[in-house]
């Protein structure tokens, strides 16, 4: 079956219906992240703000302010109450969602913090930095509990398995490390990308890890064996990956000016969406963890489009 092809992300097509266009940031948007309950979307930008969006009406709820720099990464606590952000000022900050106030600043990294990720059981906040380290934090005391060292270049992406038993980290050195968070030891090193890793995502059941990087390939990994398959189609660096909540679809965004939807069972392309990008290696997208909505950066990564997906048509 041929995939649907859209000329731009604003063009209606079978299987995709535009729900919201979110505008408010004055500069390039760096990261978007859904709350675990799927009701709120957070976004950060070069203008130094983090914005919270209500997904029922598509309205801006609150602006989190306090940065003189900008936040590369965002992660919600599993209870929806706290947002973590990793910044170019080398810190991780914790924000109270209800009040919009900053709760704590976590200091220790010596370079940009490109990735933050909360464990599924809420016990551990992890951060990855250009200083090549990964840190686990005690969010009550603000102190690091563990420092993981195993990459030789920037840590760009972190992703927890759904059961919290493994943390995957991707680096500009082209490697993926699988860590046991209980021991801080490397379980497996995955080396097949020719260039740096930009994005990692676990399937909802934790049976598959996908990676995308500067070499244009999307690799599908078996974390138990280290064996992999490949999805081919993108002509530019893959900047972001996300699974739908049911695990049927994988979304990928690339610097080739396209977003692709893949059917995970058959490894076929379900839709190709054409949209300009900014050239930033982190250009982002994210599936809603509770509903069949997809949020993606558009218009040169200056606005956010939120789509409703019709799974029957995309089959």
Tell me, what CATH number does 198's domain have?
A: 2.130.10.10
88: tokens are 């170019």
The answer to whether residue 118 is domain-embedded is: yes
Give a yes or no: residue 22 inside a domain. no
Does 146 map to a domain?
yes
Structure tokens at 120: 């599924």
Please check whether residue 48 lies inside any domain of the structure. yes
Decide if 5 is inside a domain: no
- With tokens 């005391």, the residue in question is 141
What range defines the domain where residue 310 resides? 29-314
Q: Is 14 within a domain?
A: no
Pairing of strands 258-263, 143-149: unpaired
Q: Tell me how many domains the chain contains.
A: 1
Q: In tens digits, what is the pLDDT along the chain, a chain of 315 residues?
A: 445 444 444 444 578 999 999 999 988 999 999 999 999 999 999 988 999 999 999 999 999 998 888 899 999 999 999 999 999 999 999 999 999 999 999 999 999 999 999 999 999 999 999 999 999 999 888 899 999 999 999 999 999 999 999 999 999 999 999 999 999 999 999 999 999 999 999 999 999 999 999 999 999 999 999 999 999 999 999 999 999 999 999 999 999 999 999 999 999 999 999 987 777 777 799 999 999 999 999 988 999 999 999 988 887
11 located within any domain: no
Which among 63, 124, 120, 52 has a CA at the least distance from the CA of 92?
Answer: 124
**Strand 218-221 to strand 209-213: parallel, antiparallel, or no bridges (unpaired)?**
antiparallel
Cross-strand pairs, 62: 52
């Amino acid at each position: 079956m041929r995939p649907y092809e859209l000329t731009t992300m604003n063009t209606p097509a079978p299987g995709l219906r535009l729900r919201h266009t979110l505008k408010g940031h004055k500069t390039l948007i760096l990261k978007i992240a859904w709350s675990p309950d799927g009701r709120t979307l957070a976004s950060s930008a070069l203008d130094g703000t983090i914005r919270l969006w209500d997904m029922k009406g598509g309205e801006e709820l609150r602006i989190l302010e306090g940065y003189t720099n900008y936040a590369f990464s965002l992660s919600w606590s599993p209870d929806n109450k706290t947002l973590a952000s990793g910044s170019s000022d080398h810190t991780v900050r914790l924000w109270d969602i209800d009040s919009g106030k900053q709760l704590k600043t976590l200091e220790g990294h010596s370079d940009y913090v490109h990735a933050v990720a909360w464990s599924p059981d809420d016990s551990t906040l992890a951060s990855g930095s250009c200083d090549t380290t990964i840190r686990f934090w005690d969010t009550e005391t603000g102190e690091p509990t563990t420092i993981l060292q195993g990459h030789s270049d920037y840590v760009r992406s972190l992703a927890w398995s759904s059961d919290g038993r493994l943390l995957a980290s991707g680096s500009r050195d082209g490697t993926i490390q699988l860590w046991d968070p209980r021991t801080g030891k490397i379980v497996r090193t995955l080396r097949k990308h020719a260039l740096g890793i930009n994005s990692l995502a676990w399937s909802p059941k934790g049976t598959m890890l996908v990676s995308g990087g500067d070499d244009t390939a999307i690799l599908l990994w078996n974390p138990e064996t280290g064996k992999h398959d490949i999805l081919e189609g993108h002509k530019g660096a893959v900047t972001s990956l996300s699974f739908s909540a049911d695990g049927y679809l994988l979304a990928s965004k690339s610097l080739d000016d396209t977003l692709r939807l893949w059917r995970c069972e058959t490894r076929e392309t379900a839709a190709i969406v054409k949209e300009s990008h900014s050239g930033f290696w982190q250009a982002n997208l994210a599936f809603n963890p509770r509903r069949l909505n997809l949020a993606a950066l558009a218009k040169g990564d200056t606005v956010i489009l939120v789509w409703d997906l019709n799974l029957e048509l995309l089959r």
